[in-house]
Amino acid sequence: MEHKTPLIEVKNLKTYFRTDNGVCRAVDGISFSISAEKTLGVVGESGCGKSITARSIMALVDPPGRIEEGEILFHRKGEVVDLTKLDPKGRTMRDIRGNDIAMIFQDPMTSLNPVFTIGDQIIEGILLHRKIGRSNARRQAIEMLESVAMPSPEQRVDDYPHQLSGGMRQRAMIAMALSCNPALLIADEPTTALDVTIQAQVIELMRRLQKDFKAAIMFITHDLGVIANIADDVIVMYLGEVVESGTVREIFHNSKHPYTQGLMNSLPVLTHDRGRRLVAIEGNVPSSFAVPDGCRFAPRCPHVMEVCRQRAPRLLDVGNGHRAACHLNETVALEAPV
């Protein structure tokens, strides 16, 4: 991964949920960094911990969840702040939330307050962080709606969420998130609930906005197609761990982890021939309450070796800033001349 200027550095983050049913290791020691003005794609299936990671960064993890270990270093205005050490309800974190780091969610219907107009909600966000007066804030809100290509923004600003379509609500959410010009925008499955033609619109919009607002994006999704289209760098998560990370080209054209490869082979791709049989990954994702010993993917891995069940592989550098956690790479590395 090219470290241009790291905006966020996550180091060995562990977020666990201690419940009556046991300990859920939702995020179990992950490290990655997000560069300024670039898009990091976080890809993984349900239960891999990608959403919890985002919430950990935003300090929005509710009990019984807790950040147990690790650091989240945020490079802000010249200084470095460890977000895990801040009081989640405290002044500093509230300043950061919405202002420096903003988040948009999958389902805009449930994350927008149905009893307030979208204008009010955007204005509220602006006024929380800027002392500019209500009419100025309203003007800014309309400008934001324009920049997210909302049709008729002067009218829409007074609409309620239920009066807008799914695509428009998502635009309203994006407008809200960008209204204070954050350095980082976290998007948690923002297009998953949208129709494919609307999804294309929203992705296009986000790419343009990234350039205009010079923001970094952490784009979380399970859809490999979307990742290929928007991410500069990618991390692949499985059961609370990062199993592979690298530039988007490295990951797609030169993957060094059986899980990533398995995911890509199992997708029906529009440009492939029809006759090709999909190569499915065997078995099911284990529960985060009962994580297997050794490599977590071993029970389902087509290339599993004895060592995989005994020892968990570490994230190793396999060249070009590309890292993967797989014993297969160790074998190769051992064989390569020093």
Partner 1 sequence: MSENDILLEVRNLKKYFPVRKGLLQRVVAEVKAVDDVSFTIRRGETLGLVGESGCGKTTTGRTILRLLEPTSGEVIFHSKRLARDGEEYREVDVASAPPEEVKALRRDMQIVFQDPFSSLNPRMTIAEIIAEPLKVQGISRGQARLDRVAELLKAVGLNADQMRRHPHEFSGGQRQRIGIARALALNPQFVVADEPVSALDASIQAQVINLLGDLQEQFGLTYLFIAHDLSVVKHISNNVAVMYLGRVVELAESDELFAHPLHPYTEALISAVPVPDPDYQVERIILTGDVPSPVRPPSGCHFHPRCRYAKEICRAEAPDFRDDGNGHFVACHFSDSLKLRALKAA
For 314, list phi and psi in degrees, rounded to 5: -95, 160
The least distance separating partner 1 from the CB of residue 302, rounded to whole angstroms, comes to: 12
For 325, list phi and psi in degrees, rounded to 5: -105, 90
Q: Which is nearer to partner 1, 126 or 173 (CB)?
A: 173
Q: Which is nearer to partner 1, 135 or 197 (CB)?
A: 197
Determine the Cα–Cα distance for residues 95 and 117; give it in Å rounded to an integer.
24
Q: Which is nearer to partner 1, 128 or 149 (CB)?
A: 149
Three-point CA angle 83, 84, 86, nearest 5°: 65
Q: Which is nearer to partner 1, 28 or 250 (CB)?
A: 250
Binders of partner 1 among 139-178, rule CB under 8 A?
Answer: 151, 165-168
CA 183 to chain centre: 15
Determine the Cα–Cα distance for residues 213 and 201; give it in Å rounded to an integer.
18
Task: Please select the residue that binds partner 1; options are 184, 224, 318, 326, rule is CB under 8 A.
Answer: 224
Q: Which is nearer to partner 1, 88 or 292 (CB)?
A: 292
Q: Which residues contact 263 (CB under 8 A, 6 or more apart)?
A: 43, 224, 236, 281
Instruction: Check residue 2 for interaction with partner 1 (CB under 8 A).
Output: no
Alpha-carbon torsion angle 315, 319, 320, 322, nearest 10? -20
Task: Please select the residue that binds partner 1; options are 274, 334, 335, 337, rule is CB under 8 A.
Answer: 274
The one-letter amino acid code at 37 reads E
Q: Write the binding mask 41 to 70 for partner 1: x where contact by CB under 8 A, - elsewhere.
A: ----xx------------------------
Q: Which residue has the tokens 């049913």?
A: 21
Task: Please select the residue that binds partner 1; options are 195, 212, 306, 317, rule is CB under 8 A.
Answer: 195
193-225 exposure pattern, b = at least 16 Cβ within 10 A, e = fewer? bbeeebbebbbebbeebbeeeebbbbbbbbebe
The least distance separating partner 1 from the CB of residue 283, rounded to whole angstroms, comes to: 9
Total residues in contact with partner 1, by rule CB under 8 A = 48
Q: Write the binding mask 225 to 264 for partner 1: x where contact by CB under 8 A, - elsewhere.
A: xxxxx-x----------------xx--xx--------xxx
The least distance separating partner 1 from the CB of residue 88, rounded to whole angstroms, comes to: 30
Q: Are strands 216-221 and 184-188 parallel, antiparallel or unpaired?
A: parallel
Instruction: Check residue 203 for interaction with partner 1 (CB under 8 A).
Output: yes
Instruction: Check residue 198 for interaction with partner 1 (CB under 8 A).
Output: yes
Binders of partner 1 among 284-303, rule CB under 8 A?
Answer: 284-285
**Sequential DSSP letters for 42-54:** EE--TTSSHHHHH
The least distance separating partner 1 from the CB of residue 87, rounded to whole angstroms, comes to: 36
The first and second tokens of residue 101, run together, are 């780091």
- Of the ranges 50-58, 74-82, 111-119, 269-277, which one interacts with partner 1 (CB under 8 A)? 269-277
User: How far is the CA of 84 from the CAs of 62, 93, 158, in angstroms?
Assistant: 14, 10, 38
Q: Which is nearer to partner 1, 85 or 208 (CB)?
A: 208
Residues forming contacts to partner 1 in the complex (CB under 8 A) are: 45-46, 151, 165-168, 195-201, 203-204, 222-229, 231, 248-249, 252-253, 262-264, 266-272, 274, 276-281, 284-285
